[in-house]
A and B are shown apart, each in its own frame.
Chain A
């Protein structure tokens, strides 16, 4: 089963050590065949809303930036517990902040 882990932006400043640790983590998960895709997201982005027949396109940044998503990882695991365990390891590396893990259905 697939899970999407999304991470919210944090104020912590990334040091070189964090990059090394993250690199190792990503490599290990790729080797284990767990990590399918991962990436960081630009802050803000473009918002598209529809109401009735009207489509509105708004450029960011937006006021509620704290609720936005800064990065994601799509993983393939055998249980929710495995997904949580991997998210736990990820949080230990990146420090304070918040991630959300959700099962992906489909395609």
Chain B
């Protein structure tokens, strides 16, 4: 067999078998990272041997046998798990009969465990996604990187980071307990649907690896539906994905332009997938229980799929389903979809009222579908001029070229009558071109005016711009920003209004006082509770006492080194040359914390850094190999410890340990 053919065959076998192999190995070695390395070793052996010997009869079993042998070698080397090693040797000599149902079941359970572990909530979402595609999809880092339009190195980092976290947190390889099943399962479903949507949002110009993600997600979903048959939401997600993907052939026109659902040629919908979707939906219904978010979304997709023509769509049913969904998942996107459905079921005015309530939603500020939906509703109400502006605004917000052309087309259909006056965008452009402004001012004014254009539309006639509109944009864009930011944008608007001779544009904008809010110190009663806790670790107790007694900055205190301490004079010089002074309590605790160390960071992290993270030498303790305690970690621990004290329930920040300044200090 030619080597390249053999390699492609091996790649195919790997993609089919790797999840099972890695899952089986993880059960043996209790470490996903190690299991994957061992499986990779087996893959390398296949790459070496198969081109010569041909593909073995049962390639999956061959790979598993090699990997298990490597696992035993590894365990022998580490010589720790003596008993485990005997069990393994026994299993190798007496392999369980593969015809037995129980062996197959346990292999499937292992894959399910692997799925739960790679989607574990302890991992950030993007790491979960990368690890799942890697371990359960058998994709290489390069393939994942191409699909997500990021560098291969970044994907490799995410995968390595995920494995490290799983090892550090000692996440067990087991099915979640009933009490946490719902939460863990929703984490898995989230990852699968995220992968699906990444692929579904791909456009025709994209790398083919992106649409492939849809199929990768479908595979994962269908697999999960077999492994966790009792979970209605799993079947709901599968139904949702099957039906969504059934529309793929009809979603784009001949030149790649998007075709909206109601204009799609339903004859091009893939009936095979629709029927699979219906079947999955039936399974979800049979399991009963209150419908979850995926079952509801699938029910909406089913409504669309059942309508032979767009006119046949049961919009009243869809609007009702969206209302139920909005109760479970009150996101602005769901609300927007609900506005569309209501507009179809109960008339454009009802839809517009709902859509208008979303215009102040910060999450939707730069989302092109909001003005697009509003444009559609306004057009149906005969308010063509407003509709045209909304479509133009939507066009300027989308990054997709085909979509932009489509939206501009809809705007052009609503042609204006009468001579157009100067537009907001043109005025802003002319204003920024003045030669009496320096570069920094132009940059700053530019930010303000760009936001106004994006929010109100490039084509808005300057004469119709009102102070109310400006105030609304300010409230949603910078309402919670620092006073300084607010004032900067405010002065940009004032300057623009004066230049363009528009009546006071900033009328609705008050100047904000730029005082930095004082950090409220923790009250003495709460402090007393904190100090009297019997179970505080020494490091935390010392750090918190020191922060309180010294009133020094957190960064300065964490930067202290053992060699800088002057225990007799109760002071130390921190980085930056500031002195940190302390009193009796800290003085009592410090010698115990130092515990004979002579140099290196005073406050150390609990663990040694992982192999992938090399801290600066100054942050590494030469005696213990541990790194300096990070601000984030210290802050986290303090928040956790003070959650029960903080009336807001968030836990206090370390800065609040600093005592209130005495009266004398304030004079």
**A: which residues have CB within 8 A of B?**
24, 30-34, 36-37, 74, 76, 78-79, 81-82, 84-86, 88, 92, 106-107
Q: Name which residue of chain A comes closest to B13, CB basis.
A: A85
Q: Smallest Cβ distance from B55 to chain A, in angstroms?
A: 8
Known: A106-B249, A107-B270. A31 touches B223 (CB 8 A): yes
Complex contact A33–B15 (CB within 8 A) = no
Q: Smallest Cβ distance from B241 to chain A, in angstroms?
A: 11
Most buried by B among A32, A88, A92: A32
User: Which residues of chain B come closer than 8 Å to A74, judged between CB atoms?
Assistant: 272
When A and B form their complex, which 10 residue pairs have the shortest distance between CB atoms, in order from nearest?
A33-B222, A81-B12, A31-B226, A33-B219, A82-B12, A81-B8, A85-B12, A81-B9, A33-B223, A79-B12
* B549 adjacent to chain A (CB < 8 Å): no
What's the Cα separation between A37 and B248 when bound, in Å? 19
Q: Smallest Cβ distance from A1 to chain B, in angstroms?
A: 8
Q: Name which residue of chain A comes closest to B139, CB basis.
A: A78
Known: A33-B219, A81-B8, A85-B9. A107 touches B15 (CB 8 A): no
What's the Cα separation between A8 and B15 when bound, in Å? 28
Complex contact B226–A78 (CB within 8 A) = no
Complex contact A79–B249 (CB within 8 A) = no
Complex contact B15–A78 (CB within 8 A) = yes
User: Which residues of chain A come closer than 8 Å to B222, judged between CB atoms?
Assistant: 31-33
What's the Cα separation between A78 and B220 when bound, in Å? 13
Complex contact A32–B8 (CB within 8 A) = no
Known: A81-B11, A82-B16, A107-B268. A92 touches B212 (CB 8 A): no
User: Which residues of chain A come closer than 8 Å to B12, judged between CB atoms?
Assistant: 78-79, 81-82, 84-85
What's the Cα separation between A79 and B8 when bound, in Å? 9
- Which residue of B16, B108, B270 is within 8 Å of A31 (Cβ)? B108
User: Which residues of chain A come closer than 8 Å to B215, judged between CB atoms?
Assistant: 76, 78
User: Which residues of chain B come closer than 8 Å to A33, judged between CB atoms?
Assistant: 218-223
Q: Smallest Cβ distance from B153 to chain A, in angstroms?
A: 24
Complex contact B219–A32 (CB within 8 A) = yes
What's the Cα separation between A74 and B272 when bound, in Å? 11
Q: Name which residue of chain A comes closest to B226, CB basis.
A: A31
24 contacts between A and B (CB under 8 A): A24-B104, A31-B222, A31-B227, A32-B16, A32-B219, A32-B222, A33-B222, A33-B223, A34-B219, A36-B272, A76-B218, A78-B212, A78-B215, A79-B8, A79-B11, A79-B15, A81-B8, A81-B9, A81-B11, A84-B12, A85-B9, A85-B12, A85-B13, A85-B59
Residues 205-228 of B contacting A (Cβ, < 8 Å):
212, 215, 218-223, 226-227
Complex contact A92–B57 (CB within 8 A) = yes
Q: Name which residue of chain A comes closest to B269, CB basis.
A: A107
**B: which residues have CB within 8 A of A?**
8-9, 11-13, 15-16, 55, 57, 59, 104, 108, 212, 215, 218-223, 226-227, 249, 268, 270, 272, 276
User: Which secondary structure dominates where chain B touches chain A?
Assistant: helix
Q: Smallest Cβ distance from A106 to chain B, in angstroms?
A: 7
User: Which residues of chain B come closer than 8 Å to A24, judged between CB atoms?
Assistant: 104
What's the Cα separation between A30 and B219 when bound, in Å? 10
Q: Name which residue of chain B comes closest to A21, CB basis.
A: B99
Known: A31-B226, A33-B218. A85 touches B249 (CB 8 A): no
- Which residue of A30, A37, A78, A92 is within 8 Å of B272 (Cβ)? A37
User: Which residues of chain A come closer than 8 Å to B11, judged between CB atoms?
Assistant: 79, 81
User: Which residues of chain A come closer than 8 Å to B270, judged between CB atoms?
Assistant: 107
User: Which residues of chain A come closer than 8 Å to B219, judged between CB atoms?
Assistant: 32-34
What's the Cα separation between A81 and B59 when bound, in Å? 14
Q: Smallest Cβ distance from B664 to chain A, in angstroms?
A: 73
What's the Cα separation between A92 and B104 when bound, in Å? 20
What's the Cα separation between A36 and B276 when bound, in Å? 9
What's the Cα separation between A36 and B219 when bound, in Å? 11
Q: 4 new A-B pairs (CB below 8 Å) besides A31-B108, A33-B222?
A: A31-B227, A79-B8, A81-B12, A106-B249
Q: Smallest Cβ distance from B112 to chain A, in angstroms?
A: 11
Complex contact A82–B223 (CB within 8 A) = no
Q: Smallest Cβ distance from B348 to chain A, in angstroms?
A: 34
What's the Cα separation between A30 and B229 when bound, in Å? 13
What's the Cα separation between A65 and B11 when bound, in Å? 37
What's the Cα separation between A30 and B11 when bound, in Å? 21
Q: Name which residue of chain A comes closest to B57, CB basis.
A: A92
Q: Smallest Cβ distance from A80 to chain B, in angstroms?
A: 8
What's the Cα separation between A36 and B226 when bound, in Å? 14
Q: Name which residue of chain B comes closest to A79, CB basis.
A: B12
Q: Name which residue of chain B comes closest to A33, CB basis.
A: B222
Most buried by B among A33, A79, A81: A33
Q: Smallest Cβ distance from B579 to chain A, in angstroms?
A: 64
- Which residue of B223, B249, B272 is within 8 Å of A32 (Cβ)? B223
What's the Cα separation between A33 and B214 when bound, in Å? 13
Q: Name which residue of chain B comes closest to A82, CB basis.
A: B12
Q: Smallest Cβ distance from B425 to chain A, in angstroms?
A: 44
What's the Cα separation between A84 and B9 when bound, in Å? 9
